Amino acid sequence: MSGGLLVAGTTSDAGKSVLTAGICRWLFRRGVKVAPFKAQNMSNNSAVVVGPDGRGGEIGRAQAMQAAACGLAPDLRFNPVLLKPGSDLSSQVVLLGEALREPAAPPGVGTQPGVGADGTPAPGTTSITATNFRTLRPRLARTAFAALAELRAEYDVVICEGAGSPAEINLRDTDYVNMGLARHAALPTIVVADIDRGGVFASLFGTVALLDAADQALIAGFVINKFRGDLGLLQPGIDMLGNVTGRPTYGVLPWDRDLWLDAEDSLAYDRLLGRPASPRGTEWLDVAVVRLPRISNATDLEALATEPGVRVRLTVEPGEVAAADLVVLPGTKSTVDDLAWLRRTGLADAVLAHAAAGRPLLGICGGFQMLSRVIHDEVESRRGTVEGLGLLPIEIAFDPRKTVTRSVGTAFDSLPVHGYEIHHGYVSDTDPGLPPLLTYADGRTEGANLGAVLGTHWHGAFESDGFRRRFLTEAARLAGRHGFQVAPDTSFAAARERTLDLLGDLVEEHLDTDALWRLVDGGPPADLPFIPPGAPPAG
C-alpha cells in the first residue's frame, strides 16, 4: 500500500485545497509519484475531464488544480463524488464524472431544483437531499473507497483532502470524506486552521476533543494558515496547544496575496479579483461580474484579472454594474432561478441599461442563456417557459442529458481557442443571421457576437491568451476606453504554474517537511493521547 495523508480543516475554506496542492507540489518536485484525492466535493466550480471511454466528466476544480501540482492530467477518480448545489436544500450528484440519472427521491419531498412542483424528480436528474442522503450514501461511499484504493495501488503517495470539518458530530455516522475516510484507509491526518478567522487554538483543540478515541488516534498534528505578523507572538500559543493535545504544529503558512487563482468556491474571492497590475496604456478597464446566488465556474474571470490594467470586481450592486466598462453574467447552476433573482434585485434593469448604452456585455453559459428571448426549462428549474432578457435573438431549451465536453475552435479571424462545456441548456432556435462568437474545429458555430452583446456556452476560453487579448481590445473599444492597451506577454498558463510553484515553496519553507514525510510514509504515531471529552454519545 502506498503512503497517504488526509488534510482536514477546522472549517470550510480553512486552506485544505491549497495545502493539499502545496504538499503535492513539494512531493512532485522531490520525484515522488503523487496523486490528489477528495472523496466528495460540494462545489459549482468544476473542471471537465475526458474519461477512458472518451466521454467528458466533471470533477471539482480544486482537484484539477491539485492534479496539475502533481504533474498529472485530471482523473475522474481524483474526485469520485461531486455535489453541485442547485439550492439550499438539494444538490445534483455527479458520480465518477457523470450526473446520476435515476430518480433518487420519492414523491412529496418538495419543490427544488431537480424536483418538480408535484414532488417528482426532474426527468433524467438525481438530486441529493436530507431526505434521500442515507439511501444514496452507501453507493457514494463504495465508489469513493474503490477509487482511493485504485489510486493507492498506482501511486507512491496519495494526498487526500477532507471536506468541511471532521468534527461535524451530527454527520459522523455517515461520514466517508473526513474521519470516515481516514479510518477506512488508515490515513494519518493533519488539521489546518485559518488564523485570519480568529479562534485558531480553540478550533484546533475543539476539533480533536470532539472526536472519539479511534478518530483521535489518526489526528497527528496541525498546520496554521494565513498568518500575518511576528511569529514569535504566536509561538507561545503553539507550544500550549502542543502541551494540551500532545500533537505538534507542523508549521505556520503565511498569508500570501498571490494565492487567488483556481479558488475552490466563488465565496473565497474578495470583491476585487486578484492583484490588478498597472495598465500598459493610459486607461484602466473596469469589469463588473454579477455574483449570482448559484454562480458556477467563476474561475472563468481569473484569466481576465491576470491582465495588466483590468480590474475585475464581483458585485451585487446595480450602481457598480452601471459604472462598469464591461459587464459579465457568469455561469450558474440554476439559470431560471438566478434570472428571477436578477430581476428582483434591480440588477436586470442595470444590465439592460448597460447594453442599451452600447457598452459591452458578456454572458457565459447560464449567463448567456439569460440573454435569450425565451427559456424553456423542464429540467433544471422545471418552470416551463420564461422570458429571458431579450438581448439576443435566440431561444434556449434544456435537455436532461448534460453536455460535458472539452472544446477546441477559433474566434476573431481564426485565433485559436480552447475551453470546456458543462450545461443542460442549448440554443434551440436562433435568427439565421446572428454572428457567432466561436467556431468549433469541425466548422459548427457557437455563441453570439451581436454588436456589444456577446455570449457563449464555453468556459475557460479566456485562458487562451490570443483570444483574451483580442476580446479585451474589442471590449475597450466598445466602452470608449481608447487609452487601454493589452499586454502582449501575459501568459495565463505561466501564471497558474507560478502559483503552483509558490504553493510548493511555502510548504518547503514554512512546514517541517521531514516530519511530514515521516507521517506520509509511516502513518500516525502510535502514542497520540486521547483528549476528553471525545465524541458525544449518539442519540
For residues 215 and 524, what is the distance between their CA atoms, to the nearest angstrom? 11
Give pLDDT tens digits for 458-472: 999 999 999 999 999
Eight-class DSSP state of 173: G
For residues 533 and 209, what is the distance between their CA atoms, to the nearest angstrom? 6
pLDDT for 46 equals: 84
pLDDT confidence band for 30 (50 / 70 / 90): very high
C-alpha cell at 499: 502559483
pLDDT confidence band for 270 (50 / 70 / 90): low
- Mean pLDDT, rounded, of the chain: 89
- Indicate whether 111 pLDDT > 80: no
- Indicate whether 110 pLDDT > 70: no
CA distances from 262 to 64, 103, 483, 498 (A): 9, 33, 30, 12
Tell me if 3-80+133-248+512-522 shares its fold with 270-492. Answer: yes
For residues 193 and 202, what is the distance between their CA atoms, to the nearest angstrom? 10
Q: Is 24 a catalytic residue?
A: no
For cell 484525492, the residue is: 37
Task: Give the CA radius of gyration of the chain.
Answer: 24
CA distances from 487 to 272, 464, 466 (A): 20, 14, 11
Eight-class DSSP state of 206: H
**Catalytic residue of the set 24, 70, 160, 365:** 365
Decide: 58 and 47 in contact? Cβ < 8 Å: yes
Q: Which helix (H) or strand (E) segment is 137 a member of?
A: helix 133-154
What SS3 state is found at 98? strand
Neighbours of 444 (CB within 10 A): 11
Higher-confidence residue: 109 or 306?
Answer: 306
For cell 500550549, the residue is: 240
Residue spans per domain, the chain = 3-80+133-248+512-522, 270-492
What SS3 state is found at 391? coil
Phi/psi for 479 (5° steps) reads -85, -5
For residues 493 and 486, what is the distance between their CA atoms, to the nearest angstrom? 17
Beta-strand pair 374-377/394-411? parallel
Decide: 192 and 159 in contact? Cβ < 8 Å: no
pLDDT for 2 equals: 80
pLDDT for 265 equals: 52
Category of 317 on φ-ψ map: left (φ > 0), alpha (ψ -120 to 50) or beta = beta
Q: Which CATH superfamily is domain 3-80+133-248+512-522 in?
A: P-loop containing nucleotide triphosphate hydrolases (3.40.50.300)
Which of the four CATH numbers 3.40.50.2300, 3.40.30.10, 3.40.50.2000, 3.40.50.880 does domain 270-492 have? 3.40.50.880
pLDDT for 93 equals: 86
Among candidates 267, 253, 316, 271, which has minimal Cα distance to 290? Answer: 316
What SS3 state is found at 285? strand
- Indicate whether 112 pLDDT > 60: no
Q: Which helix (H) or strand (E) segment is 398 a member of?
A: strand 394-411
pLDDT for 210 equals: 96
pLDDT for 107 equals: 35
Give pLDDT tens digits for 66-107: 999 999 999 999 999 998 877 666 778 888 888 876 554 443
Dihedral angle sign, alpha carbons of residues 224, 228, 230, 233: negative
Q: Is 459 a catalytic residue?
A: yes
CA distances from 276 to 267, 279, 285, 309, 499 (A): 19, 9, 11, 6, 16
- DSSP class per residue in 413-434: TTEEEEEEEEEEEEEEEE-TTP
What SS3 state is found at 507? helix
**Catalytic residue of the set 376, 424, 457, 459:** 459
> What percent of the chain has a predicted confidence (pLDDT) above 70?
91
The type of residue at 412 is: F
Phi/psi for 348 (5° steps) reads -60, -40
Q: Long-range contacts for 302-305 (Cβ within 8 Å, ≥24 apart)?
A: 302/260, 302/261, 302/262, 302/263, 302/273, 302/274, 302/492, 303/462, 303/463, 303/468, 303/492, 304/462, 304/468, 304/472, 305/273, 305/274, 305/276
Decide: 316 and 291 in contact? Cβ < 8 Å: yes
- Indicate whether 340 pLDDT > 90: yes
Beta-strand pair 91-95/81-85? antiparallel
pLDDT for 122 equals: 46
Give pLDDT tens digits for 199-234: 899 999 999 999 999 999 999 999 999 888 888 899
Give pLDDT tens digits for 386-426: 999 999 999 999 998 889 999 999 999 889 999 999 999 99
- Indicate whether 509 pLDDT > 60: yes
E strand segments, 51-173 = 56-60, 81-85, 91-95, 98-99, 127-128, 157-161
Q: Which helix (H) or strand (E) segment is 63 a member of?
A: helix 61-69
Phi/psi for 158 (5° steps) reads -120, 120
